[in-house]
Amino acid sequence: MTSVGDRDIIEVEERELPADRFSDRELSWLAFNNRVLDLAKDVKRVPLLERARFLAIFSSNLDEFFMVRVAGLKRRMAAGVAVAGSSGLMPRELHDAILTRTRELVGDAAYVFANDVRPALAQHGIEILRWDELDEDERRQMTDLFENRIFPVLTPLAVDPSHPFPYISGLSVNLAVLLRNPVTGVRQFARVKVPTILSRFVPLGGGRFVPLEDVIAQHLHQLFSGMQIIEHSTFRVTRNEDVEVEEDDAENLLFALEKELLRSKVGRPPVRLEVEDDIDEVMLELLISELDITEKEVFRVPSPLDLTGLFSIADLDREALLYPSFLPKTHPELAEVETAQPANLFAALKNREVLLHHPYDSFATSVQRFIEQAAADPAVLAIKQTLYRTSGDSPIIDALVEAAQAGKQVLALVEIKARFDEQANIAWARKLEKAGCHVVYGMVGLKTHCKLSLVVREEPTGLRRYAHIGTGNYNPKTARLYEDMGLLTSNAVITDDVARLFNHLSGMAQETHYRRLLVAPHGVRRGLIESINNEIANHNKGLPSGVRIKVNSIVDEAVTDAMYRASQAGVPVDLWVRGICSVRPGVRGLSENIRVRSILGRFLEHSRLYWFANGGEPVVGIGSSDLMHRNLDRRVEVIVGLNNPRHIAQIEGLFDLAFDPGTASWWLEGNTWTQRTLDTAGEPLLDIQEHLIATMGQRRAVER
CB of 106 closer than 8 Å to CB of 98: no
In the structure, what pLDDT confidence band is assigned to residue 499 with cuts at 50, 70 and 90?
very high
Instruction: Please write the tens of the pLDDT for every residue from 405-431.
Output: 999 999 988 876 555 555 666 777 788
- The four Cα atoms 44, 48, 51, 52 give a dihedral, to 10 degrees, of 160
- The four Cα atoms 433, 371, 469, 549 give a dihedral, to 10 degrees, of -110
The DSSP bridge pattern shows strands 665-669 and 672-676 to be antiparallel
Predicted confidence (pLDDT) at residue 79 exceeds the cutoff of 50: yes
pLDDT of the residue at 257: 55
Mean pLDDT of the 118-136 span: 96
Predicted confidence (pLDDT) at residue 111 exceeds the cutoff of 90: yes
Q: Of the ranges 327-341, 346-360, 544-558, which one carries the lowest mean pLDDT score?
A: 327-341
- 357 strand-pairing partners: 485
CB of 301 closer than 8 Å to CB of 102: no
More confident residue, 163 or 549: 549
The side-by-side arrangement of strands in the sheet containing 127-128 is: 127-128, 208-211, 201-205
The DSSP bridge pattern shows strands 127-128 and 208-211 to be parallel
CA distance 666 to 45: 14
Mean pLDDT of the 129-146 span: 95
Map residue 450 onto helix, strand or coil. coil
> Which positions are catalytic?
449
Cα–Cα distances in Å, from 184 out to 188, 219, 361? 11, 23, 71
CA distance 688 to 665: 9
Predicted confidence (pLDDT) at residue 304 exceeds the cutoff of 70: yes
> Can you point out the beta strands (E) in 402-535?
409-414, 438-440, 447-448, 451-459, 462-470, 482-489, 517-520
pLDDT of the residue at 172: 92
3-state secondary structure string across 356-422: EEECCECCHHHHHHHHHHHHHCCCEEEEEEEECCCCCCCHHHHHHHHHHHCCCEEEEEECCCCCCCH
pLDDT of the residue at 8: 53
CA distance 503 to 335: 33
| Maximum CA extent, the chain | 93
Predicted confidence (pLDDT) at residue 251 exceeds the cutoff of 50: no
Predicted confidence (pLDDT) at residue 261 exceeds the cutoff of 80: no
Predicted confidence (pLDDT) at residue 246 exceeds the cutoff of 50: no
CB of 329 closer than 8 Å to CB of 362: yes
Instruction: Please write the tens of the pLDDT for every residue from 6-40.
Output: 455 566 666 789 999 999 999 999 999 999 999 99
More confident residue, 85 or 547: 547
Share of the chain above pLDDT 70, in %: 89
pLDDT of the residue at 75: 83
H-helix or E-strand containing 604?
strand 604-605
> Which pTM value belongs to this model?
0.91
pLDDT of the residue at 245: 45
CA distance 575 to 581: 9
pLDDT of the residue at 663: 98
pLDDT of the residue at 666: 98
CA distance 354 to 334: 8
pLDDT of the residue at 165: 84
Instruction: Please write the tens of the pLDDT for every residue from 349-385.
Output: 998 999 999 999 999 999 999 999 999 999 999 999 9
